[in-house]
Amino acid sequence: MLGTICTFAIVLTTALSFDPFMDNGMFDMVWLESKNDYKEDPSMSTDSIVLKTRDQEQYKCFLPEADNAQDKDDKVPYKGLSELELLKPLFDTSQCSYRWESYWAYELCHGRFLRQYHEDKEPGKKPKVQEYFLGYYGKNSPDKKAEEIEKAKEKQVDESVEKKLTIAQLKKLLKKKKLDDDHILPYFRVNYTSGTNCDVTNDPRIANILYVCHKNARAELFEIKEVSSCEYEAVVLTELLCSHPAYVTIPKRSQKIRCLPLNNSPTKPKSLAELELRRIKFNSAHVKFENRKDSSIDDEEDLGNDIAQEHLHINSPKEPMAQKQLPDPKSRPKQPRLLPHVREKMIRDIINGESCIDGGSGWWKHEFCLQKQVQQYHEDKNGKKTYIKLGEWNEKYQKLYMQKNQQKRPSSQKESRKSITQYYGNGDVCEETKRHRHVEVKLKCAEKASSAHSISIYILEPRTCEYLLTVESELICSILEKADEDGIIPLQTSSTSPP
């Protein structure tokens, strides 16, 4: 790695085209044992520098030849089509892209509009469609001013081509979008305006469509999110934009810096060898710790360390786990177990509503407090939270709900219960239905959970402002048998904690 060079003092340099501070490539250090290794490597360049370590070890390091092919290409003025001209096939045919999520579906008809909709289908009845237009493009916009703005932008894009800017200059002008940890890509933005009026801001909805170069992608609606109230951002992957070199990203290549020892210096610097040895020992100790056998915990301090590492795990269906190869279950380390009195306290706090469970991702997150309330909230960059109450607990409503839904009553065999259902009503009034929000909560026993104190929570919205919340954990197994015939769980005290 290039960072290793920073531990040395440079005592001699040559006039090289190599820039040690460039960040457009990755470098590996290769430590050669003798000049024979140098002679046998035909890729070795003649440019070199001599490095000296603090232990007075000396090395002659041969630098990789600069790959200037791409730099030369980038200095050429771009004479191709503009972004809008490249995307013209999409706009002319009014091709539409779709994306389906748990409740909402999205329809993007390129060059026309972006629509958000949901269909309620009931047997024997005509489907009910709830829809919002998130924005219109140019001439399709009911707002003529928006059309003029879009025409001005088209003219501006065409002028940038006429100025004959180089590809390198164009690359500097482009903004980039982070799609994930490995991909930060340039995009071309198209504004959609004058959508359905927003109840929150009293302004029309707007959307920014970000077109990103992706080979073999045919206008795929990769992502859509609400970045602020009634303002949306959609990412579209398309191969059409890849004809423009400024939007094509070239993967970084790893280059090698090869070093020969001088004046009887060791093959590798002493301090570097010691550092690598310490790292190996640390990793070995870490592996032993992770795979230690589950032993009894004798004091609160050890227990606290285990809980600090495991704590409550919140899983969201919107964030699927990466598909990684799992180890053999027989060799998998056991999860640290909870001391009985600590486990009892965790269960007691959940039952009494003293420990609430947070989950979710994106703009809205969710908070569930057992037999108290269910809320969704958004936290802005300043830490201020905006809450919407989805439902609150009321024993009277719970009993009425069970009377109307006898099939949802808990099993009379308390020991064999796998789940119970609770009703949380009288939430905040829904703007679309003009009725109070309400939630049906399902508490499920997870006997084979990966961790004895992990909790999974996820929420669905099958109908507008009507929610289904599922909470699943091994801890809940002990709670279910405490519920009465109506699914009501009595409050717990330290003397009557569940087993």
> In terms of pLDDT, which residue wins out, 147 or 467?
467
Span 286-293, mean pLDDT?
37
* pLDDT for 116: 92
Residues 6 or more apart in contact with residue 293 via CB below 8 angstroms: 334
Tens of pLDDT along 59-91?
998 887 766 555 556 667 777 788 889 899 888
pLDDT at 261 over 80: yes
* 83-247 and 303-319+335-496: identical CATH topology: yes
pLDDT at 333 over 60: no
Phi (first) and psi of residue 416, to 5 degrees: -100, 5
End-to-end CA distance of the chain: 55
* pLDDT for 452: 52
pLDDT tier at 25, thresholds 50, 70, 90: low
Span 224-241, mean pLDDT?
91
pLDDT tier at 322, thresholds 50, 70, 90: very low
Instruction: Fill in the DSSP letter of residue 315.
Output: -
CATH number for the 83-247 domain, one of 3.30.70.20, 3.40.50.1820, 2.70.130.10, 2.40.30.10?
Answer: 2.70.130.10
* pLDDT for 120: 77
Question: Which residue in 488, 288, 277 sits closest to 398, CA to CA?
Answer: 488
465: region left, alpha or beta (phi > 0 left; psi from -120 to 50 alpha): left
Tens of pLDDT along 292-309?
333 333 333 333 333 333
Span 331-347, mean pLDDT?
56
* pLDDT for 26: 67
Q: Which DSSP string corresponds to 36-82?
A: HHHHT-TT--S-EEEEE-TT--EEEEEPPPP--HHHHHHTSBP-S--
* pLDDT for 451: 52
Tens of pLDDT along 95-149?
888 888 778 889 999 999 999 988 876 767 777 888 999 999 976 555 555 555 5
Q: How far is CA 333 from the centre of its chain?
A: 27
The mean-pLDDT minimum among 35-39, 90-94, 155-159 falls in: 155-159
Quote the Cα angle for 235-240-246, to 5°.
80
* pLDDT for 331: 43
Instruction: Fill in the DSSP letter of residue 239.
Output: S
Q: Which two tokens stand for residue 485?
A: 């015939």
Span 162-168, mean pLDDT?
65
pLDDT at 427 over 90: yes
Mean pLDDT for the chain overall:
73
Phi (first) and psi of residue 452, to 5 degrees: -65, -20
Cβ proximity of 138 and 151 under 8 Å: yes
Span 172-201, mean pLDDT?
84
pLDDT tier at 288, thresholds 50, 70, 90: very low
* pLDDT for 189: 92
Predicted model pTM: 0.43
Q: Which DSSP string corresponds to 132-191?
A: EEEEE-GGGSS-HHHHHHHHHHHHHHHHHHHTT-BHHHHHHH--EEEEETTEEEEEEEEE
> In terms of pLDDT, which residue wins out, 19 or 94?
94
Q: Which residues pair with 100 in a beta bridge?
A: 105
pLDDT at 436 over 90: yes
- The domain segmentation of the chain, as residue ranges, is 2-67+253-279, 83-247, 303-319+335-496
The Cα–Cα gap between 204 and 201 comes to 8
pLDDT tier at 37, thresholds 50, 70, 90: low
Question: Which residue in 467, 221, 440 sits closest to 364, CA to CA?
Answer: 467
The mean-pLDDT minimum among 10-24, 83-97, 305-319, 442-456 falls in: 305-319
pLDDT tier at 172, thresholds 50, 70, 90: confident
* pLDDT for 394: 94
According to CATH, the superfamily of the domain at 303-319+335-496 is Mannose-6-phosphate receptor binding domain (2.70.130.10)
